[in-house]
Amino acid sequence: MSDATLTRRTAAELAALLEGGEVSSVEVTQAHLDRIGAVDDAVHAFLHTDGAPALAAAAAVDAARAAGDDLPALAGVPIAVKDVVVTRGQPTTAGSRILADWVPPYDATLVTRLRAAGMPILGKTNMDEFAMGSSTEHSAFGPTRNPWDLDRIPGGSGGGSAAAVAAYEAPLAIGTDTGGSIRQPAAVTGTVGVKPTYGSVSRYGLIALASSLDQAGPCTRTVLDAALLHEVIGGHDPADSTSLPGEATGFVAAAHDGARRDLTGLRVGVVRELGGEGYQSEVRAAFDASVEALQRIGAEVVEVSCPSFDAALAAYYLILPAEASSNLAKFDGMRYGLRVEPSDGPVTAERVMAATRGAGFGDEAKRRIILGTYALSAGYYDAYYGSAQKVRTLIQRDFAAAFAEVDVLVSPTAPTTAFRLGEKLDDPMAMYLNDVATIPANLAGIPGISIPNGTDAAGLPTGFQILAPAREDARLYRVGAALEALLVESWGGHLLERAPELEVSA
Amino acid sequence: MSTFTTDEVARLANLARIDLTPAELERYAGELEVIASAVARVSEVAGDDVPATSHPIPLTNVWRDDVAAPTLDRGEVLASAPEAADGKFAVPQILGEE
């Protein structure tokens, strides 16, 4: 089987080929490493790749299979991991100069689970510094480019993970979603992205941005692949005090159920506040067509109002910087990472910290830390941080009221398709608006998925967001798989197949 | 609402222990003014009767039995430190600062 054929396969297809002995994990892993070598100079999805350990892991799976061992579902399928997730013995930078040479001495729980599932780790993917951004232009190591159009952004902060999957460099990737950083990149790259219920995938070993919002999840090309990966990384972790009890099961079954394309009895709520002003007309048109498609297979659609969502963006941009200013305090040049001494005057710990943080953090990190310091400072705490936490209560109440009427809520994932690199870099508020539809789910801790659902006039992909109540992630897979099956049938293949071929370097 | 003068940004940067250049102070003052104006509306949305929510799920402390277990390898941890000496982190002078 040729390399090109292997890299075009979904994770579920690769798992079946591996299980049937038609291909080895070493072949699959090497094919993806070759693809990375061929296209990543142009895409820059990866900050670090590790061929030898990935191939060693693949060989170990092949040996176990040859010995007749009973292996996990995705054993031998390679994966890419966002560089905010720590990996023992492999560099982890969070896209920041301040961690440029850091090699973690331990694995994140989800990495431990990937390794236990026999999944070779291809490398670490590019991201906005400490996951602050909506375009992956705030990486200290240069931007990632959208495989659909290399002059455009791949979304953020997990643009590297989404681009790696869209460019066929990895069949699967891990992302983290603090305000939409899995779903929004999925929308603009024509891939599938899932933010699981808060606490259902361990955050142990994720470099925290905003602890009450961060959630790791799958970046894939199909809904079934996301369900398969979610079952590998999810489930209770005693090492994480915010980890929910229980196992991660039922997602794959829900995806298979959805693929039968029968949503009879399902109640779908269209969120009035997520889709009006500021949404590109083609995004809205694709959304309307997808809602009609759901109706055709039995779903009952009603409009619901969540009035507090209008304040979600403002609340988010107070809560996130406040938590970030605290979480990022540990990057001080004392125990790990960069250390910069002041250019003049005494070399004291305090002055080294300030010099290190001044040189090590990029623009967006500095901007948000200062905003967070302000929001938490004496005299402003009640007006800003305290009020934002009240808005969070109202948003949770809006969701609770809506889910009393409907089973899932839907909206466009992002207000526009991918914009050009540099277009919004000097306008932080314009950049922040990209996450307007994804942020409410993070404030309330509920799960969400983005499915590719169309293209604009320039041929760039749009995304369809489905939200479910906390711990009802299986609904995302059922409804997502149903819509995906309808769309793939109408298009005669996956949307990603319409992306232009990338030029392969020698 | 406070106005983000360069002096105010300098004060906040000092609290946050981040050295900023004069050009950064100037730029952040303008940008933060815009952002703060946009987010200030949160104080108009919720009244005194609305309780604050700090976290999406109720949190409880997690305990484990107090038994000895392997720790991180000291050599691996110190290998990523900016400076180490005698098996410990070496840090700049902490006491006697102004």
Residues 390-419 of A with CB under 8 A from B: 390-394, 396
Boundaries of domain holding B21: 6-45
**Is the pLDDT assigned to residue A153 strictly greater than 60?**
yes
Determine the pLDDT at residue B78.
Answer: 94
Query: Which whole number is the average pLDDT over B45-71?
Result: 88
**In sequence order, which ranges of A77-236 are alpha helices (DSSP H)?**
109-116, 159-166, 183-189, 223-233
**Is the pLDDT assigned to residue A406 strictly greater than 70?**
yes
**Six token digits for residue A157:** 């902060």
> Does residue B62 lie within any of the structural domains?
no
Same domain, A7 and A155: yes
Residues 462-481 of A with CB under 8 A from B: 470
Determine the pLDDT at residue B37.
Answer: 87
Q: How big is the CA angle at A179 (ends B38 and A497), to the nearest 5 degrees?
A: 120
Alpha-carbon gap, residue A284 to A279, rounded angstroms: 7
Determine the pLDDT at residue B57.
Answer: 84
Q: Which of A104, A337, A353 sits opposite B17 (nearest CB)?
A: A353
- Look at residues A355, A371, A393 and tell me which one is the last residue of a structural domain: A393
> Does residue B70 lie within any of the structural domains?
no
Cβ atoms within 10 Å of A390's Cβ, excluding its own? 23
**Is the pLDDT assigned to residue A116 strictly greater than 90?**
yes
Same domain, A110 and A223: yes
Determine the pLDDT at residue B2.
Answer: 60
Same domain, A359 and A462: no
> Does residue A506 lie within any of the structural domains?
no
**Counted domains in chain A:** 2
Edge-to-edge strands, sheet with A267-271: A46-49, A121-125, A79-82, A173-176, A216-220, A192-195, A448-455, A461-467, A408-412, A267-271, A300-304
Same domain, A476 and A367: no
- Look at residues A374, A393, A412 and tell me which one is the last residue of a structural domain: A393
Say yes or no: B85 contacts chain A, CB-CB below 8 A. no
> Does residue B59 lie within any of the structural domains?
no
Determine the pLDDT at residue A82.
Answer: 98
Q: Residue B38 sits in a domain of what CATH number?
A: 1.10.20
Q: Which residues of chain B have a CB within 8 Å of the CB of A337?
A: 80, 82
**Is the pLDDT assigned to residue B98 strictly greater than 80?**
no
Of A106-115, A349-358, A421-430, where does mean pLDDT reach its minimum?
A421-430
Q: Which of A198, A341, A429 sits opposite B56 (nearest CB)?
A: A198
Mean pLDDT of all residues belonging to chain A: 96
Nearest Cα residue in chain A from B26: A367
Say yes or no: A317 contacts chain B, CB-CB below 8 A. yes
Same domain, A461 and A494: yes
Please tell me the distance in Å from B22's CA to the nearest CA on chain A: 12
Same domain, A166 and A97: yes
Determine the pLDDT at residue A276.
Answer: 82
Say yes or no: A58 contacts chain B, CB-CB below 8 A. no
Write down the residue that tokens 């972790």 correspond to.
A237
Contact A101 B80 (CB under 8 A): yes
Query: Which whole number is the average pLDDT over A11-17?
Result: 98
Determine the pLDDT at residue B43.
Answer: 87
Say yes or no: A106 contacts chain B, CB-CB below 8 A. yes
- CB burial of A321-350 (b: ≥16 within 10 Å; e: otherwise) equals bbbbbbbbeebbbbbbbbbbebeeeeebbb
> Does residue A504 lie within any of the structural domains?
no
Q: Residue A79 sits in a domain of what CATH number?
A: 3.90.1300.10
> Does residue B79 lie within any of the structural domains?
no
Alpha-carbon gap, residue A283 to A299, rounded angstroms: 21
> Does residue A287 lie within any of the structural domains?
yes
For the stretch A213-258, pLDDT in tens is 999 999 999 999 999 999 999 999 999 999 999 999 999 999 999 9
Contact B97 A198 (CB under 8 A): no
Same domain, A202 and A277: yes
> Does residue A386 lie within any of the structural domains?
yes
> Does residue B94 lie within any of the structural domains?
no
**Counted domains in chain B:** 1
Please tell me the distance in Å from A447's CA to the nearest CA on chain B: 12
Residues 239-258 of A with CB under 8 A from B: 240-242, 244
Question: Of these residues, A25, A134, A135, A157, which one is catalytic?
Answer: A157
Chain B interface test: which of A103, A313, A387, A393 (most B C-beta within 10 Å): A387
Q: Identity (one letter) of the amino acid at A124? A: K
- Look at residues A376, A393, A410 and tell me which one is the last residue of a structural domain: A393
Question: Of these residues, A24, A82, A243, A308, which one is catalytic?
Answer: A82
Same domain, A173 and A296: yes
Same domain, A420 and A336: no
Taking only Cα atoms into account, the Rg of chain B, rounded to an integer number of angstroms, comes to 22
Determine the pLDDT at residue A506.
Answer: 67
Say yes or no: B49 contacts chain A, CB-CB below 8 A. no
> Does residue A434 lie within any of the structural domains?
yes
Q: Is A82 known to be catalytic?
A: yes
Same domain, A367 and A468: no
Same domain, A96 and A167: yes
> Does residue B31 lie within any of the structural domains?
yes
> Does residue A51 lie within any of the structural domains?
yes
- Asked if A158 and A152 count as a contact pair (C-beta separation under 8 A), the reply is no
Same domain, A133 and A206: yes
Whether the bond between A157 and the residue before it is cis, its omega within 30 degrees of 0, is yes
Contact B12 A105 (CB under 8 A): no
For the stretch B11-28, pLDDT in tens is 999 999 999 999 999 999
> Does residue A217 lie within any of the structural domains?
yes
Say yes or no: B68 contacts chain A, CB-CB below 8 A. no
3-class secondary-structure state, position A296: helix
Chain B interface test: which of A195, A317, A370 (most B C-beta within 10 Å): A370
Q: Which candidate, A187, A95, A160, A180, places its Cα nearest to that of A419?
A: A187
**Is the pLDDT assigned to residue A50 strictly greater than 90?**
no
Contact A335 B36 (CB under 8 A): no
> Does residue A481 lie within any of the structural domains?
yes
**Is the pLDDT assigned to residue A138 strictly greater than 60?**
yes
> Does residue B23 lie within any of the structural domains?
yes
Give the whole-number percent of chain B exceeding pLDDT 70.
95
More confident: A470 or B65? A470
**Is the pLDDT assigned to residue A473 strictly greater than 90?**
yes
With bands split at pLDDT 50, 70 and 90, how would you rate the model's confidence at A22? Answer: very high
> Does residue B88 lie within any of the structural domains?
no
Query: What's the CA dihedral at B52, B56, B57, B61 to 10 degrees?
Result: -70
Boundaries of domain holding A385: 310-393
